Structure 1
Amino acid sequence: MNNPLLQLKSASVCFQSRTVLETIDLTLNRGEIVTLIGPNGAGKTTLVRVVLGLLTPDTGQRTLKSGITIGYMPQKLHVEPSMPLSVRRFLALAGANRKNISAALAKTGVPHVSESPLQTLSGGEMQRVLLARALLRKPDLLVLDEPVQGVDVNGQKELYHLIGQLRDETGCGVLMVSHDLHLVMASTDRVICLNSHVCCSGHPQQVSRHPAYLKLFGGESEELAVYSHHHDHQHAACGEVIPESSTDTPTTEHSRTQTHAGFSA
């Protein structure tokens, strides 16, 4: 695209004598989900701070499309147990009115928590509230730092699906940081594998086979191995298999076979 939402060109950041980010190039377009992955200490949080404009790179350039709005969802939020703060009041701190708050909570699937104290929310509810807060800005670019932090596997799948829906509905670009490799690889358009520099980037299937990716996440000890699996059935919440149809062999039209990239121990 000729007019991306965000561009980083040869961005480098040093803390004292240590290079945290080295000549990073990043382009993010409207309607695109880009996921940033990498080991601990790879510079993912520093890169997010550069993207948000909270940190100026020592060298290189950050360029935003004129007039765009960024919505940010942090990894987690610490709330003092004694603080009497409801979800609605928390979201109102962002300058939103009651109508917009209700709409944002409905969009993220948690309208029922509006008057609940923040401290009483489950992990999944809290992440959806934080996502609602980011949406209140009506962002052109959503920056999501570990959006499924503290959420169980089923909740993670639902959140990633919701993020995809929001992208489809609004046309916003999404930059997402994640450690949940087995799920996120099926939920993104492009992956950037970071370890101070960009080790590899591209479509999830390409990245999952790249030697740099395998070295970082597969490991020479082969404790983890990348695999792809296909399934032609679904599971109920209790774990029971739900047949796709009454026939032994589902047709192409009715089959819901999917491919995911993941890991085996």
Structure 2
Amino acid sequence: MTLITVENLSVSYGANTVLRHVDMVIEAGEIVTIVGPNGSGKTSLLRAIIGATKPSAGQVTLKPGLKIGYVPQKLHIDPTLPISVERFMRLTNRVSRKNCVEALKTAGVPDLLTRQMSQLSGGQFQRVLLARALINRPDILLLDEATQGLDQPGSAAFYHQIEDVRRKTGCAILMISHELHVVMSASDRVICLNGHVCCEGSPAVVASAPEYRALFGTGTGGALALYRHEHDHEHDHSKDSREAAE
């Protein structure tokens, strides 16, 4: 089932066109990662999908009734503001404590409900944002460089958790990343964007594409190979997940 269809999409800010003639389809249950250099239009594409940016041409079509969960690139909360994780998760959602706990468990941090937001580490904070995006059981999760500011082990652990979320909930996932060292080799597809779709396909196909190599080089297989699939490294998965939650 098709969840999102992007057709001939262009986005301009004044005289500056950041996206040209982008076509993309997201199917139910798949994981798609969008990579590209800074200024390539990744965030503009995501904003057009959620309706925050109006296309200058083309259109975005969502499945009727599509439920979207969104994890932003960053979110600033005044550290002097006394707000617990539970209260944060219920600010704009009329949900029960049980639903909050279930979402936190799915995000890999089941014990944070009563903690103050100001006391969370960077990895824990991102997991709480993930839980908040999951609380209404979305059909698709959109993540805009959600690991920015985390170190490499923390980023890898977060992406492992995303795989686990897909496995447990069945929701589709569309992620934006510029961190090539943690791009998910478990993604069903990778789309390389640089103002337009340069190439797309499996991680291995994209890593070997001339268009991708022209942007990012060829070191370590385009860096895609450095992400290790969780079922091949169960011990590392558990270790990384513990470190990210600390």
* TM, length-normalised to structure 1: 0.81
Aligned to 2:108: 109
Structure 2 counterpart of 1:128, which letter? Answer: R
Aligned to 2:6: 8
Structure 1 counterpart of 2:20, which letter? Answer: E
Answer with 152-161 or 117-126: which moved more.
152-161
1:224 shift after superposition: 7.8
1:174 aligns with 2:170: no
Identity %: 48
Higher fraction of strand: 1
Which secondary structure does the structure 1 equivalent of 2:25 belong to? strand
Answer with 165-174 or 68-77: which moved more.
165-174
Q: 5+ residue gaps in structure 2?
A: 241-246
Answer with 65-74 or 159-168: which moved more.
159-168
Which secondary structure does the structure 2 equivalent of 1:193 belong to? strand
Q: 1:226 aligns with which of 222, 225, 233?
A: 222
Q: Contact 2:184 / 2:227 at 8 angstroms: preserved in 1?
A: no
Q: Contact 1:94 / 1:133 at 8 angstroms: preserved in 2?
A: no
The verdict on how the C-alpha distance between 1:159 and 1:68 changes in structure 2, with shifts beyond 3 A counting, is same
TM-superposition CA deviations, 1:185-235 (whole Å, max 9, x none): 4131101111111111111100001111111111xxx78863657999876
Structure 2 counterpart of 1:24, which letter? Answer: V
1:133-172 equivalences under 5 Å are 133-172=132-171
Aligned to 2:74: 76
Q: 5+ residue gaps in structure 1?
A: 239-265
Aligned to 1:24: 22
Q: Contact 2:207 / 2:221 at 8 angstroms: preserved in 1?
A: no
TM-superposition CA deviations, 1:153-208 (whole Å, max 9, x none): 22222221211121122221110011221221413110111111111111110000
**RMSD (CA atoms):** 2.3
Q: Contact 1:69 / 1:139 at 8 angstroms: preserved in 2?
A: yes
Q: Contact 2:181 / 2:227 at 8 angstroms: preserved in 1?
A: no
Quick one: distance in 1 between partners of 2:104 and 2:169?
16
Quick one: distance in 2 between partners of 1:229 and 1:191?
15
Structure 2 counterpart of 1:136, which letter? Answer: I
* TM, length-normalised to structure 2: 0.87
1:99 shift after superposition: 1.1
Structure 2 counterpart of 1:205, which letter? Answer: A
Quick one: distance in 1 between partners of 2:140 and 2:221?
33
Q: Which has the higher contact order (CA 8 A, sep 6+)?
A: 2
The verdict on how the C-alpha distance between 1:225 and 1:11 changes in structure 2, with shifts beyond 3 A counting, is same
Q: Contact 1:13 / 1:22 at 8 angstroms: preserved in 2?
A: yes
Quick one: distance in 1 between partners of 2:163 and 2:189?
13
Aligned to 2:43: 45
Q: Contact 1:124 / 1:150 at 8 angstroms: preserved in 2?
A: no
Higher fraction of helix: 2
Q: Contact 1:217 / 1:224 at 8 angstroms: preserved in 2?
A: no
Alignment size in residue pairs: 233
Quick one: distance in 2 between partners of 1:150 and 1:6?
29
Structure 2 counterpart of 1:15, which letter? Answer: Y
TM-superposition CA deviations, 1:118-172 (whole Å, max 9, x none): 1111111011000000001210011011122222322222221211121122221
Q: Contact 1:9 / 1:60 at 8 angstroms: preserved in 2?
A: yes
The verdict on how the C-alpha distance between 1:7 and 1:165 changes in structure 2, with shifts beyond 3 A counting, is same
Q: Contact 1:9 / 1:24 at 8 angstroms: preserved in 2?
A: yes
Which secondary structure does the structure 2 equivalent of 1:82 belong to? coil
Which secondary structure does the structure 1 equivalent of 2:208 belong to? coil
Structure 1 counterpart of 2:77, which letter? Answer: V
Structure 2 counterpart of 1:154, which letter? Answer: P
Which secondary structure does the structure 1 equivalent of 2:142 belong to? strand
TM-superposition CA deviations, 1:44-80 (whole Å, max 9, x none): 1110101111112111011011111000000111011
Structure 1 counterpart of 2:222, which letter? Answer: V
The verdict on how the C-alpha distance between 1:126 and 1:144 changes in structure 2, with shifts beyond 3 A counting, is same
Structure 1 counterpart of 2:132, which letter? Answer: R
